[in-house]
Structure 1
Amino acid sequence: MNINPQQLQDKARQIQDNVLPQIDEARRNLEELNERTVSFIRANPGTCLLGAVAVGFIIGRIASRR
């Protein structure tokens, strides 16, 4: 089996060209989600604090059973 370095390089570049836009889109989506989350937390700090306490309590209960 003879591997041509140029073919390998071309294939790698083709994969990169296909994957980079998907990575950029995922990054933009995560940044948007982060901004929305931070905005929600700033607008509703009490609700978020109570939610965090409730989740912590539930995790604590589950962990204490084992």
Structure 2
Amino acid sequence: MKEQSTEALIVQNPKLFFPGSYAVKQLVQKIKSAAREFAANDPEFLGMIEKAMEGEARTVARRFAGKQN
């Protein structure tokens, strides 16, 4: 099998390297869920994670305010 450059692979398979926004949103949700599960037995740590996620949600809301998909 002939080896291909990374550039050639990206050009031929863009979805493998640049997933759509829906795929990224799903991945972010899985990461957030895993973080909550990881911190479930530590209320203080869970609170820190929740606070960080709330801050991130506010930032995203401001960034995309007025924009529609």
RCO greater where, 1 or 2, for CA within 8 Å and sep 6 or more?
2
More helix by share: 1
Q: Whose Rg is larger?
A: 1
Range of TM-score over shorter length: 0.3 to 0.5
Using the size of structure 1 for normalisation, the TM-score is 0.36
Using the size of structure 2 for normalisation, the TM-score is 0.35
